Structure 1
Amino acid sequence: MGVMRIGHVSIKVMDMAAAVKHYEEVLGMKTTLQDEHGNVYLKCWDEWDKYSLVLTPSDRAGINHVAYKVRREADLDALQQRIEAYGIATEMLAEGTMPATGRVLKFNLPSTHEMRLYATKEYVGTDVGTTNPDPWPDDLKGAGAHWLDHLLLMCELNPAEGINRVAENTKFMSEVLDFGLSEQVLVGPEGNIQAATWMFRTTTPHDIAFVGGPTNGLHHISFFLDSWHDVLKAADVMAKKKVKIDVAPTRHGITRGETIYFFDPSGNRNETFAGLGYLAQPDRPVTTWTEDKLGSGIFYHTGELVSSFTEVYT
């Protein structure tokens, strides 16, 4: 029973045409649907469900919700009971409320970020099919991202006032949705304030991450690439397309991922992420990063923090 993997992220964009062009030409996604409200739905070539990204028109950037796919319909009912028993209100949206999707369980994390769970979404298949497939399709554009990999949410952290939404989210995800904790950052005079966490349901180092900040928000959405070479190619694509790059290709100490950070035209931060790092397993010991080594944890090569990376988010 329970959550299998990330399903989609819905974000706000201020210029729909520019946003669609970015996600199609820079990331290599394809538009699969546009609804009557002007929302655009896209998928990567190696994904088999109808969409993994929803763009909604808005006057500002940011996140609407993140959705995770559960194994079967009955899991939605069981998880609804568990979430409400934990003290969080839920709403079950009817089939079809979201296009091409079955029932959706809607609720807010302790940080107030909206999360949704669903069991069924229209199957459309990958771009290479399932019978004698080629390793990649011939019509790849841009970076050629394989799939939506994870996201990082900024969560209010104010120890002086006893506010730690990172720890609250982590506790909820662990106790109610059965996510595992792979890595964490501990700060403070006693080294016991959980300032950031990376959590998993699959075998990747993280399917979601929470990092403390002055306000709640979206830090980035991440798309998977095969290798370090693909990360470098993605940077070339961004340079050619005049995309604003936040952090040039480098390696994380945390998760061991190979990465580049950049912004879509509305200011939502994207990441292309490569490297398995390690297999996340329920019995794997949690990796802890201390406050004095946080720079190396985030940017392993230089060991230095980049101000925009920690201060800018939507």
Structure 2
Amino acid sequence: MRLGHVSLKVLDLEAALDHYTNTLGMLVTHRDGDERVFLKGWDEWDKYSLILNAASEAGVESIAFKVEKPGELDDFLRRIDASGIAVAEVGQGELPFCGRAIRFQLPSGHTMFLYAEKAFVGKLVGATNPEPWPDGLKGAGVHWLDHVMLMAEVDPARGINKVAETVDFFRDTLDFHLGEQVMAGPNADIQVAAWMFRTTTPHDFAIGAGPRAGLHHIAFFLDDWSDVLKTADILAKRRVKVDVTPQRHGITRGSTTYFFDPSGNRNETFAGLGYLTQPDMPVITWTEEELWRGIFYHTGDEIGNFLGVYT
């Protein structure tokens, strides 16, 4: 149904907590001592969309998507098993504040959960005669966790393309749709990046090529371009390390700013719908020579080591 949460590894829990609450404006909903913290955006209704885990290295611990009905978990368990991927049942509460779930490893090497039930806390503005936004938001005041982009190994010389394998799995087994893709190589037949959706936005999940599995970024939704600009000011004011100043994507058409949390995990604030997706929408393809125009539409230039640096 949608991206449920990302479980993130951070080097300094207190520094990370300061970043995600005071820079991004997320709300703490639970804390397990010095080990982990659960957070949500003000416009989200489930208990959390982000888990911060104290760890010795940065990166992603797991991602989780929510399905609509508990019975769908049994169907997905059968389908994942039939695809040749090992899948395990997870009892109620083993995934924090969630009902039963299933766990498996993506072809990319990342751990993923599917679940149907999570503790409900409601939007900060409530559900009866709500105001358009709550008072007292900190920092950027992000609405919700919008999407996640992972990195997977691609090595044509060795016949390895974990991007394509993961895309096939999301499409054929999990019923995702392919919105956009980048094709590279002499014959433009190597899929090196993809943006996939289950909702009506350009992407709920994205994956790109790299030398190893990892996390490229997690993204948080804002209303519009002016909010992206305001976020950039907040980043500067709080001396946050900025990766890419406000830009427009060609791919997905979204307005964006990229920056890093204190552990080096890349964040994005992503604004605007971009465009409406539907299951019958034709796939948009970008060619290798126009890759950077697709990523950063205004200049079409490579910015830093945007594709090479990730956790």
After TM superposition, is the score higher than 0.5?
yes
User: CA–CA distance in 2 between the matches of 1:145 and 1:268?
Assistant: 17
In the alignment, what sits opposite 1:66? Answer: 63
Q: Show structure 2 runs of 5+ residues with no match.
A: none
User: CA–CA distance in 1 between the matches of 2:286 and 2:204?
Assistant: 19
Q: Which of 188, 191, 196 is 1:194 aligned to?
A: 191
The answer to whether 1:221 aligns with 2:218 is: yes
Secondary structure of the 2:71 match is helix
User: What percentage of residue pairs aligned between the two structures are identical?
Assistant: 60
Q: Which of 7, 12, 31 is 1:10 aligned to?
A: 7
Alignment of 1:98-117 (within 5 A): 98-117=95-114
Post-superposition Cα deviations, 1:204-228, rounded to whole Å, max 9, x if no partner, equal 0000001011111000000000000
Q: Which amino acid aligns with 1:188?
A: G
Once superposed, what is the RMSD of the aligned Cα atoms? Answer: 0.8
User: CA–CA distance in 1 between the matches of 2:95 and 2:108?
Assistant: 23
Alignment of 1:1-314 (within 5 A): 4-35=1-32, 38-314=35-311
Post-superposition Cα deviations, 1:95-126, rounded to whole Å, max 9, x if no partner, equal 01122111121001001111101000011000
Q: Which amino acid aligns with 1:67?
A: A
Higher mean displacement: 120-129 or 34-43: 34-43
Q: Which amino acid aligns with 2:168?
A: K
Secondary structure of the 1:82 match is helix
Flag as ranges the 4+ runs of structure 1 deviating above 2 A: none
TM-score (norm 2): 0.99
User: CA–CA distance in 1 between the matches of 2:65 and 2:299?
Assistant: 34
Q: Residue 35 of structure 1: CA displacement?
A: 2.1
Q: Which amino acid aligns with 2:265?
A: N
Q: Which amino acid aligns with 2:138?
A: K
Q: Residue 56 of structure 1: CA displacement?
A: 0.4
Q: Which amino acid aligns with 2:278?
A: Q
Q: Which amino acid aligns with 1:269?
A: R
Q: Which amino acid aligns with 1:302?
A: T
Q: Residue 37 of structure 1: CA displacement?
A: 6.6
User: CA–CA distance in 1 between the matches of 2:260 and 2:103?
Assistant: 28
Q: Show structure 1 runs of 5+ residues with no match.
A: none
Post-superposition Cα deviations, 1:59-95, rounded to whole Å, max 9, x if no partner, equal 1100000000000111111100000000000111110
Q: Which amino acid aligns with 2:258?
A: Y
Q: Which amino acid aligns with 1:24?
A: T
User: CA–CA distance in 2 between the matches of 1:211 and 1:180?
Assistant: 16
User: CA–CA distance in 1 between the matches of 2:22 and 2:210?
Assistant: 32
Post-superposition Cα deviations, 1:222-246, rounded to whole Å, max 9, x if no partner, equal 0000000000001011111100000
User: CA–CA distance in 1 between the matches of 2:87 and 2:78?
Assistant: 9
Secondary structure of the 2:20 match is helix
The answer (yes or no) to whether the contact 2:142–2:221 under 8 Å persists in 1 is yes
The answer (yes or no) to whether the contact 1:246–1:308 under 8 Å persists in 2 is no
The answer (yes or no) to whether the contact 2:13–2:34 under 8 Å persists in 1 is no
Secondary structure of the 2:280 match is coil
